[in-house]
Chains A and B, each alone.
Chain A
């Protein structure tokens, strides 16, 4: 596809997304699309580290939770605006990521993946036992009335949340695009392909892994802060579980990792599907939704391990 057509396509998509809440005024469709935006953004953040740099993290919920908790605690105890909380949350997540990165980046492949799960479990356990931060009971975000942009609370409609989520998604896309085309992007891909070769060419491998992790963590934390302010309740089980880390990478993997559009495609398919199976099969309390989900994941792994982007690229090669 020529670059011009692609930009036209992207612009049309953006216009459609901007117009969506004006057409669909019901809360539920808006909520589904907001969730798609959120997970596309989280998957994009994960993609920066895993897709471009090849470091398969299975503990990204740590950064999500760091953002969610930092902004919520700052509102609760210091009455700080969640917007400021978002920024502080991102800074906290970056600090945590650098701390984690030091031991885990010495590991490769499965060792790395398992160490990130272990980190996620450690943080989850600590949060459950930290009473000041709500412990296992969790935290309610203090309700502010009336609606205010400064407090990031809109009780009348989901429209503003929609545009904020879209803004965050665009930010994640813009950053990924910038990285993809910069020197850093080439370094990250070199590390992904062969880190020993990359090191022998003089690329500071450890430093660039840390940098990718920091960027990824900051973006994930922004998503976490948004989630907390949108749902207005958080607990360790909803923002720190390994299941969330897995879902984030699943979205990216389904769409196709190491590509700009993969995370959005993955979220646009997986989130409505999850929503649909939950509504039609989940109400019976029999976990039928998860049954379908699990079977689907296995099928995708067998049939198209490169994700949907790989399928699209293969199709394009055949026609072109």
Chain B
């Protein structure tokens, strides 16, 4: 293998890693708030991609144009899921929580299949298309725009959590629910907000992915799995750490595909996760 191929792989892995990080950030945020893993996270992503697709197919809206719409729609979905499902299982055993969101995942996937069938769809002729050459490395423009968009969204999320009053209240709730409540923070509202923001992150990621990825009812499965591994790799509830972990996952995926076998790239990613966990069970930057 030539050095060029390697550099090419590293760059595309890095770019994809930013998108993975954005997907994982929503998951991590929700977990940090209430120790619930959203097993329907991939289906949220699928929903966002379909929303983007239909905005394009029905109203000729480009994915980048409809992005704010998708983001708002997903935030709404997050609120709906929190109030309709999650609020009722906050005190339930972990297994009931796992299965509530698993049930939601099965439901959403089946609903997509019932409504739109199992076909693969693609947004054709998006605003940004083609590829550019940067110092001999070719980069697909949609991928580049997606990763930059993901980085911007990630930055905005980070700013919101660290710098705004609401963000601080979120952090406080995530650190100590009881104490936050005593300080006058409405923790129920924070939970709902967490689901809205977490889903909005996926909404942005889905809109960006829809520019260059096939859209079908099962599309969330692979991305969700990568997101779980990303979150666990970085450390649950640690949102900034997902950026590092996302990049690692993206790069390892590409390197695994190049150096070992394309068909085994996800197996390589998951194996790496198991190896890391042997050494740091709490994830790279996690507290236990």
- Tell whether A pairs with B: yes
Which residues of A approach B to under 8 Å, CB–CB?
50, 56, 58, 103-104, 106-111, 113-115, 117-119, 121-122, 125-126, 128-129, 246, 249-250, 253, 257, 286-291, 293-302, 305-306
Beyond the given A106-B278, A294-B105, could you list 17 further A-B residue pairs with CB under 8 A, ordered by the A residue number?
A: A58-B98, A104-B274, A117-B228, A126-B267, A249-B95, A253-B95, A257-B95, A287-B113, A290-B113, A291-B110, A291-B111, A293-B103, A294-B106, A295-B107, A297-B103, A301-B92, A305-B96
- Inter-subunit contact B98/A56 (CB<8 Å): yes
- Inter-subunit contact A125/B88 (CB<8 Å): no
The distance in angstroms between the C-alpha atoms of A129 and B278, with both chains bound, is: 26
The distance in angstroms between the C-alpha atoms of A248 and B45, with both chains bound, is: 26
Q: Which residues of A contact B99 (CB under 8 A)?
A: 249-250, 253, 297, 300-301
Q: What are 27 sample pairs from A and B whose C-beta atoms fall under 8 A apart?
A: A50-B95, A56-B95, A56-B98, A104-B274, A107-B277, A110-B31, A110-B94, A110-B232, A110-B236, A111-B232, A114-B228, A114-B232, A115-B273, A118-B229, A119-B274, A121-B225, A121-B270, A122-B270, A125-B267, A129-B261, A290-B106, A290-B113, A291-B110, A293-B103, A298-B100, A301-B99, A306-B96
Q: Which residues of A contact B275 (CB under 8 A)?
A: 103
The distance in angstroms between the C-alpha atoms of A274 and B190, with both chains bound, is: 38
Binary contact readout B85-122 vs A (1 if CB under 8 angstroms, 0 otherwise): 10011001111111110111111111101100000000
Q: Tell me the dominant secondary structure on chain A's binding face.
A: helix
The distance in angstroms between the C-alpha atoms of A103 and B281, with both chains bound, is: 9
- Inter-subunit contact B236/A111 (CB<8 Å): yes
Q: Which residues of A contact B213 (CB under 8 A)?
A: none
Least CB distance, B43 to chain A, in whole angstroms = 10
Interface residues of B in 229-288 (CB under 8 A from A): 229, 232, 236, 261, 263-264, 266-267, 270-271, 273-275, 277-278, 281-283
The distance in angstroms between the C-alpha atoms of A294 and B217, with both chains bound, is: 15
Contacting B103 at CB < 8 Å: which of A56, A126, A286, A296?
A: A296
Interface residues of B in 74-94 (CB under 8 A from A): 85, 88-89, 92-94
The distance in angstroms between the C-alpha atoms of A122 and B268, with both chains bound, is: 8
- Inter-subunit contact B107/A302 (CB<8 Å): no
CB closest residue in chain B, given A56: B95
CB closest residue in chain B, given A105: B281
Q: Does B14 contact A (CB under 8 A)?
A: no
The distance in angstroms between the C-alpha atoms of A291 and B108, with both chains bound, is: 8
Binary contact readout B150-190 vs A (1 if CB under 8 angstroms, 0 otherwise): 00000000000000000000000000000000000000000
Contacting A286 at CB < 8 Å: which of B92, B97, B114?
A: B114
Contacting B114 at CB < 8 Å: which of A257, A287, A296?
A: A287
Contacting A305 at CB < 8 Å: which of B31, B89, B107?
A: B89
Q: Which residues of B contact A291 (CB under 8 A)?
A: 107, 110-111, 114
Least CB distance, A100 to chain B, in whole angstroms = 9
- Inter-subunit contact A288/B37 (CB<8 Å): no
Q: Which 9 A-B pairs have the closest CB atoms?
A: A297-B103, A294-B107, A305-B96, A294-B106, A290-B110, A301-B100, A298-B103, A287-B113, A118-B270
Q: Which residues of A contact B94 (CB under 8 A)?
A: 56, 109-110
- Inter-subunit contact A302/B88 (CB<8 Å): yes
Q: Which residues of B contact A121 (CB under 8 A)?
A: 225, 266-267, 270
CB closest residue in chain B, given A252: B95
- Inter-subunit contact B89/A301 (CB<8 Å): yes
- Inter-subunit contact B106/A106 (CB<8 Å): no
- Inter-subunit contact B274/A103 (CB<8 Å): yes
- Inter-subunit contact B236/A294 (CB<8 Å): no
The distance in angstroms between the C-alpha atoms of A49 and B68, with both chains bound, is: 46
Contacting B229 at CB < 8 Å: which of A104, A114, A296?
A: A114
CB closest residue in chain A, given B99: A301
- Inter-subunit contact B109/A111 (CB<8 Å): no
Q: Which residues of A contact B31 (CB under 8 A)?
A: 110
Q: A106-B277, A106-B281 are in contact. Are A114 and B37 (CB under 8 A)?
A: yes
Q: Which residues of B contact A107 (CB under 8 A)?
A: 277, 281
Least CB distance, A241 to chain B, in whole angstroms = 10
Q: A107-B281, A110-B31, A121-B266 are in contact. Are A297 and B102 (CB under 8 A)?
A: yes
The distance in angstroms between the C-alpha atoms of A47 and B175, with both chains bound, is: 33
- Inter-subunit contact B109/A295 (CB<8 Å): no
Q: Which residues of A contact B102 (CB under 8 A)?
A: 246, 250, 297
